[in-house]
Structure 1
Amino acid sequence: MKKIMIAISLAAVVSACDSPSKKGADVNPFFTEYTTPYGIPPFEDIKFEHYMPAFLKGMEEGRAEINAICQNPEAPTFENTIVAMDESGKLLRKVSSVFYGLTSANTTAQLDTLSKEISPLTSTYSDDIWLNPVLFARVKAVYEKKNELGLDKEQTKLLEETYKNFIRGGANLPEEKQAILRKLNSDLSMSQIVFGQNMRNEEAAYKLVVDSEKDLAGLTSTQIANAAKAAEAAGLKGKWVFTLHKPSVLPFLQNAENRSLREEIFNAYINRGNNDNGNDNKKAVKELIAKRLEKAALMGYDDYASFVLEDRMAKNSKSVFDLLDELWTPALKKAKEELADIQKEIDKNGKNFKAEGWDWSYYFERAKKAKYDLDDSQIRPYLKLENVRDGVFYVSNKLYGVTFTPLKNVPLPHPDAEAFDCKDKDGTHLGVLFMDYFPRANKKSGAWCGSYRSQGYENGKKITPLVTVVCNFSQPAEGQPALLNADEAETLFHEFGHALHGLFKDVNYKGVGGVPRDFVELPSQVMEHWAFEPEVLKVYAKHYETGEMIPAELIEKMSQSGKYGQGFATTEYLAASYLDMDFHVLKDVSADFDVLAFEQKVLGARGLLTQIPPRYRTTYFNHTMGGGYTAGYYSYIWAEVLDCDAYQAFVETGDLFNQEVAQKFRKYVLTPGGIDDAMDMYINFRGKKPGTDALLKNRGLK
């Protein structure tokens, strides 16, 4: 009776919100076809009150579509079961793409609360599909006849993936265990949301307030101006505020002469989610690890990593640890050499202290200057944001012939974003690209690429994607240009690789649109290789004031120093990758499990330098604790083995824009989605499996 009453109340909410008597201005935008250019969501017309009714109606329609498949009196076929499933849930996808895109890039307290309300509903909706015995029986009947159906490669892959999703979704479990799985899935979904919101709230809450101008010594005029602007926004006019957003904290650690203030903000940064307050994440982590292990055991696996990796290129945890171990020793050796250089700089300046974590960035810049006569301030003037963006466009055009034309008067996910019409070399529309560059208090940290609509087909017509690249670059002072550092420029190339992957994908079925997590970074990371090639720098690296091309001697210095710092970068990355895996190969999580003691134990045992925290400590490791890269943070280095080897395919021809190689990469890697096995895709492109030599050389570890 309770379930019936809930269903009636939900239906009432949906019907009330979709009443034909409503005025046109009040119609829920999700319930109509978008009439905007390119079918872009009408972001300004979508209000908070539109989301829940759209989610509810989307789930109602999706359930009706699934029920229709189950009740079909005809024998199960590929078309009436597998394709019908793939096409179901259109409205739910429509609202989800907007909602989750905006809660990452432009959230509000209302949206955060709504995320928690929606989480158990969508978890139940998903479980109702994968644990539906009638639906599974129909899918299984088709699967068992797959060799008799005359399916092509893409259809076969869709059938195999659909069947596998049922198995991994618990369809073969007895009813009592399915009930346990449902509860675990709901709890995990909620815990991941809570973890991410805590982390974002923690970052937004912290402020390092500087009230003495002498404490700004070493900072650039732009950094000082931005801090003054942040202080004014916080009601602290006349002071300076620094936050835990990377464009604020990292330059401060790099440039601020005041060591005690560096220590303060460094400790705040590495203790996000670990302050025993309302945003503390230790409890959430413990619950996540324990419930993931419980789910793995329920599904018949020894640990959660085994459950996850079975479906990825790595296949098992041994393959992951073997790769990490191969890189750890040379990376740690290089990091110790860099630490020695840093200590020399400290000693040279007459200081009497041992280098600590808050000293690394500050003295590393000075060590780099001493070795190569190069520092960040020499490079930034040539990396104006718009020029770097045009450099990315140039590389994409040279490789694939695509063009990017600014779009005006189209809906934007945020007023700061910009939009581009992307066309193929033959003039065919590929999709729309949004780019959103600067941090906001309500934007999650980091950089990512997503979509407000994925590529697909409807009634035989291709639906082009709406791709978004979101970053958190250093924001310029008012009236000043945005000048990127080298890492930010490389990040833009990286995320653009993801964007090209989304724009070039061409599959008929949504169920084969994705690739394994440890393959997905190949398209993005391979783009990084072009960022600082002299041939490319000469095109986009122009001085923001004079327009003068970057000098050849500066390019040479960049080339010579390019691998300096890889000890630190590789070690901090590997430390986080180990941490992710170590949590998820646990076979037991005791009631008194201490997540930070565990972190210290496993990283200390490997000899991680105390001056180098892992790139993400446990309480703000959203990649793994927030989902997405769970037992998968190693994916970046796994894919780097691929991308370094792939780039060599261009280098070996003597032409970094070799058209034959570029077209093969597009055909075999960027276009087919997940139709082929990931390693098969790579071998189709390269003609062989990759080795680690190119990666080690690229990072200067060999």
Structure 2
Amino acid sequence: MNPLLQDFNTAPFSKIANKHYKPAIKKAIEIAKEEIHKIVENTEKPTFENTTVALDFTGEKLNRITSIFFNLNSAETNDEIQKIAQEVSPWLSEFRNDITLNEALFKKVKEVFDTKESLNLTPEQEMLLDKQYKSFARNGANLNESDKTELRKIDTQLSKLSLKFGENVLAETNAFEMHLTDENDLAGLPDSTKEAAKQLANEKEKEGWIFTLDYPSYIPFMTYADNRELRKKLAIVAGKKGFQDNKNNNEQVVLDIVNLRHKRANLLGYKTHAHFVLEERMAETPEKVIDFSNELLEKAKPAATKEFENLEKYAKKLDGIDQLQKWDGAYYSEKLKKEIFDLDQELLKPYFKLENVIDGVFEIASRLYDLKFDEVSTIDKYHEDVKTYNVTDTDGNFISVFYADFHPRKGKRNGAWMTSYKSQQVKNGVNERPHVSIVCNFTKPTPTKPSLLTFNEVTTLFHEFGHALHGMLANTTYNSLSGTSVSWDFVELPSQVLENWCYEKEALELFAKHYETGEVIPMKYVEKIKESASFHEGMQTLRQLSFGLLDMSWHSQNPSEIKTVKDFENEAFANTKLYPDVPENVMSTAFSHIFQGGYSAGYYSYKWAEVLDADAFEYFLEEGIFNKEVATKFKENVLSKGGTEKPMILYKRFRGKEPKPDALLKRAGLL
């Protein structure tokens, strides 16, 4: 008996063995194909119910099985699971292609779509139909046969190029190591960084210390190492990844990718790749994104310039440096920050015991959204570290299952994320509630000390819990519009907005208590946390905007005339430049977010979501951070609504107006 093919409520983790995955996924694909076949073969006239709704309910078993499999591939993996992932991924993408290129199915979807004016649909039904039709049209369903063939060819080339891009960046990253044998070269570095570098050298059977281009090694070296020549060496090598005369050069790969994306967009009837991508985002058009970025740039640039000049003066006073270079920025910023705020992260940690922070975030969710979290031992879990909860409202109604997995271990990838094992939906008149999970990597408790979080980890926990609330409070009819199924530049609002409570006295008093004495965190620390949060915000904003504008430059015009990556990039960076140019460096050839990840024509969304979250939290500040009326508005118009209407409509219903960047600029100290 394959436990994955039985009916289950919560995932039957303890019964699953690796051998169950492939047969279960294979069988679930067959079941889903059969469901599609039924829709196609139905001889009745296509209707919203027998086509649109029926299609939304297909593949339910497949979704549940693959969510278990891929979630474990991130949180509790091993070589065998990774090998299975390589095998089943092509099956799943082929299955998806079979759906979007199924002409008979598209014909039915289109027939319903073409009559939508006469169907008296609710906004949610209209959104479902719209989204479904577009998922076909945006993947070429309306094209003639030769154009479809061309589109498939382009898609194959693009997927190969993006893999090639990533392989080249990885090869460049792995090819370099800086091997130091003189202890004087380590001056300024924290003990933990030196220890890690020593361990790396030991692993490679070498004396001394080894530093690499991996972030946990690179960033502390650039931030703390006193030796300027070595910082320069490391920075230049990091900046020329994919831009060297060797087999890992990515210049042509970048040019090929942007030209193919442009060609693909034209084929589908769009002016540029950015026009294609943004049609489905809150921002809607490249023009809007560029105006938005330039408006922020206008406000941030004077502050950034002033911060940069102050930093230059500081470096001159301290070490007689005449011209601040890229390899000096992090180093002098860190020194200046410590001098101004005198805030040591180690001082704060005793106030943030993990269990207290969890209780704190639950208490905040209770005050805002009437939720109650009960830890239970009856829910099956995939590792003993995982905590499981039943979530109810104050009337005792069941809201969600919640899993939380907090500590690093072998087989768990780095970082923090929120995910789901079961979507919320209304089926056969029953509101099926979601199963939501967050996964983090916080320090484990030791025999003498509990798990104590840095302040940064506290905000990470709040961030992921904000996503979890979006999933838990979902209350829509169709699962494809439920919870976090919203546009890319809207999904970070619930997570980023919750981080704001970490900076407020009223919220901190609930949970920031010294793990030994029970003393509430002194307010002078809270003030320092708040003040230091906006340190060098002008320069940070300028940097983020420069990346977003570079992304837009690549994707919002016809790229066929671009000759060299370096010249094009210099032009794109002209308005945001602070440091002198480094001739042997380029960013695009290692800009994995846009050439390998999903951020092409979308890098702006980091800043976009910050504007939303600052504007939303301003409303809470005006009325009180635990104000029930504002919280209820946010819950009913944002958290529970998923993707059932356009994000701006939902946001305006909550806020009463469109978001303005003023709240963000005020919070960042840029006004």
Give the TM-score of the pair, scaled to structure 1. Answer: 0.83
Partner of 2:112: 142
Partner of 1:533: 504
Q: Secondary structure at the match of 1:572?
A: helix
Q: Secondary structure at the match of 1:83?
A: helix
1:76-130 superposed Cα distances (whole Å, 9 cap, x missing partner): 1222111111111223323432344344455566666665555554333223222
Partner of 1:13: none
What is the aligned residue count? 667
Partner of 2:492: 521
Q: Which amino acid aligns with 2:144?
A: P
1:694 and 2:668 correspond: no
Residues 621 and 442 (structure 1), Cα distance of their counterparts in 2 relative to 1, 3 Å cut: farther
Partner of 1:19: none
Counterpart among 385, 392, 400 of residue 423 in structure 1 = 392
Query: For 1:278-297, what aligned pairs fall within 5 Å after superposition?
Result: 285-297=254-266
1:320 and 2:294 correspond: no
Identity of aligned residues (%): 41
Partner of 2:139: 169
Q: Secondary structure at the match of 1:531?
A: helix
Partner of 1:16: none
Q: Which amino acid aligns with 2:559?
A: D
Partner of 2:7: 33
Whether the 8 Å CA contact 2:10–2:379 is kept in 1: the answer is no
Partner of 2:526: 555
Partner of 1:79: 49
Give, in whole Å, the separation in 2 of the partners of 1:236 and 1:223. Answer: 18
1:307 and 2:276 correspond: yes
Give, in whole Å, the separation in 2 of the partners of 1:283 and 1:51. Answer: 39
1:467-507 superposed Cα distances (whole Å, 9 cap, x missing partner): 33344567899966555444443233222211111111122
Query: For 1:63-462, what aligned pairs fall within 5 Å after superposition?
Result: 63-105=33-75, 118-189=88-159, 191-192=161-162, 215-224=185-194, 234=203, 246=215, 249-263=218-232, 266-267=235-236, 270=239, 285-352=254-321, 354-408=323-377, 412=381, 417-437=386-406, 446-462=415-431
Per-residue deviation, 1:662: 0.3
Moved more, 578-587 or 667-676: 578-587
Per-residue deviation, 1:670: 0.5
Give, in whole Å, the separation in 1 of the partners of 2:204 and 2:385. Answer: 23
Whether the 8 Å CA contact 2:326–2:579 is kept in 1: the answer is no
Partner of 1:8: none
Per-residue deviation, 1:618: 3.4
Give, in whole Å, the separation in 1 of the partners of 2:435 and 2:587. Answer: 33
Whether the 8 Å CA contact 2:474–2:641 is kept in 1: the answer is yes
Q: CA RMSD in A?
A: 3.7
Q: Which amino acid aligns with 2:53?
A: V
Q: Which amino acid aligns with 2:639?
A: L
Whether the 8 Å CA contact 2:4–2:16 is kept in 1: the answer is no
Give, in whole Å, the separation in 1 of the partners of 2:194 and 2:251. Answer: 35
Whether the 8 Å CA contact 2:325–2:579 is kept in 1: the answer is no
Whether the 8 Å CA contact 2:425–2:477 is kept in 1: the answer is yes
Give, in whole Å, the separation in 2 of the partners of 1:272 and 1:464. Answer: 47
Per-residue deviation, 1:324: 0.5
Partner of 2:608: 638
Counterpart among 447, 450, 475 of residue 506 in structure 1 = 475
Moved more, 499-508 or 634-643: 634-643
Whether the 8 Å CA contact 1:226–1:475 is kept in 2: the answer is no
Which structure 1 segments of 5+ residues have no match? 1-23
Moved more, 160-169 or 314-323: 160-169
Whether the 8 Å CA contact 2:296–2:661 is kept in 1: the answer is no
Partner of 2:542: 571
Whether the 8 Å CA contact 1:517–1:629 is kept in 2: the answer is no
Moved more, 303-312 or 197-206: 197-206
Per-residue deviation, 1:246: 4.6
Residues 505 and 204 (structure 1), Cα distance of their counterparts in 2 relative to 1, 3 Å cut: farther
Q: Secondary structure at the match of 1:358?
A: coil
Per-residue deviation, 1:286: 4.2
Residues 318 and 510 (structure 1), Cα distance of their counterparts in 2 relative to 1, 3 Å cut: same
Residues 391 and 136 (structure 1), Cα distance of their counterparts in 2 relative to 1, 3 Å cut: same
Whether the 8 Å CA contact 2:543–2:576 is kept in 1: the answer is no
1:445-466 superposed Cα distances (whole Å, 9 cap, x missing partner): 5543222332234444333333
Moved more, 441-450 or 670-679: 441-450
Residues 350 and 139 (structure 1), Cα distance of their counterparts in 2 relative to 1, 3 Å cut: closer
Residues 90 and 191 (structure 1), Cα distance of their counterparts in 2 relative to 1, 3 Å cut: farther
Q: Secondary structure at the match of 2:559?
A: coil
1:497 and 2:466 correspond: yes
Moved more, 488-497 or 401-410: 401-410
1:56 and 2:26 correspond: yes
Per-residue deviation, 1:204: 7.5
Give, in whole Å, the separation in 1 of the partners of 2:121 and 2:627. Answer: 35
Counterpart among 650, 658, 669 of residue 638 in structure 2 = 669
Whether the 8 Å CA contact 1:119–1:190 is kept in 2: the answer is no
Q: Secondary structure at the match of 1:469?
A: strand
Give, in whole Å, the separation in 1 of the partners of 2:422 and 2:475. Answer: 13
Give, in whole Å, the separation in 1 of the partners of 2:574 and 2:410. Answer: 34
Per-residue deviation, 1:622: 4.0
Partner of 1:660: 629
Moved more, 66-75 or 485-494: 485-494
Which structure 2 segments of 5+ residues have no match? none
Whether the 8 Å CA contact 1:143–1:163 is kept in 2: the answer is yes
Q: Which amino acid aligns with 2:527?
A: E
Give the TM-score of the pair, scaled to structure 2. Answer: 0.87
Q: Secondary structure at the match of 1:529?
A: helix
Give, in whole Å, the separation in 2 of the partners of 1:148 and 1:521. Answer: 36
Per-residue deviation, 1:601: 3.7
Whether the 8 Å CA contact 1:372–1:557 is kept in 2: the answer is yes
